[in-house]
Amino acid sequence: MDVVIFGATGMVGQSALRACLADAGVRRVLVIGRTPMGRLHPKLRELIRADLSVYADIEPDLTGYDACFFCLGISSFGMDERSYARTTYDLTLAAATVLSRLNPAMTFIYVSGAGTDSSEQGHIMWARIKGRTENALRRLPFKAVYLFRPGIIQPLDGIRSKTRAYRLLYFLTGPLLTVLHYLVPQFVLTTDSLGRAMIAVGRHGANKAVLESRDIYAVSR
């Protein structure tokens, strides 16, 4: 399986990348983002883009891939709706539209979030825009689109959030998350289980398009 990853410097993207590099069945990994990771691996290639809305000049580099793990995202805290929609909806659809045209047999996995509003009518801004993004992705001509909606994620293996507030939160709640994951692992995912689930769904698919935390945990096993 050949994989494209967006957002590989974020916590979820790091999970996807780590799983791909460790999986012998993944032959090559193309990471697309704004910031170099400074990481070397025989099957890893990076494409650094200042503008993640334009891909016409690199279309030959985007062909021949079996799966895309789209982990690019930001917190909506302090953002107005237009700015959040540009990053969450516009950039996602810009990449996905090109990939669906170049790779019609591709499986596209979009990491959304628990509480996403599929109706697009709710009062919570981020949930409404995430729902609009999910719905638009499902209309694209991919082989399959799967929507991951994880809730609480426990970072492992040195993986860290890029958001300072989240890093502090994880530092303070780390012991509690460990206990909760042991007691209710289907509701407190680890970065390891999330990465393994993306690999499994990218390779074999799933029996539903929308995967909540309990579904992600089941697939990872």
* pLDDT band at 186; cut points 50, 70, 90: confident
- Domain boundaries in the chain? 2-220
Region class of 122: left (phi > 0), else alpha (psi between -120 and 50), else beta? beta
For 79-101, how does the pLDDT look when each residue is reduced to its tens digit (9 = 90+)?
999 999 999 999 999 999 999 99
Q: What is the mean pLDDT of residues 65-76?
A: 93
How many Cα atoms within 13 Å fall on the side-chain side of residue 41?
20
Q: Check pLDDT > 80 for residue 16.
A: yes
pLDDT for 188 = 81
pLDDT (mean) for 181-204:
87
Instruction: Give percent of the chain above pLDDT 90.
Output: 76
> Which pLDDT score, from 0 to 100, does residue 106 have?
98
Q: Between the CA of residue 190 and those of 21, 140, 212, what are the distances in Å?
A: 17, 30, 14
Q: Could you report the per-residue pLDDT of 135-157, keeping only the tens digit for each?
A: 999 999 999 999 999 988 888 87
Class of the domain covering 2-220:
alpha beta
User: Can you give the C-alpha Rg of the chain in angstroms?
Assistant: 16
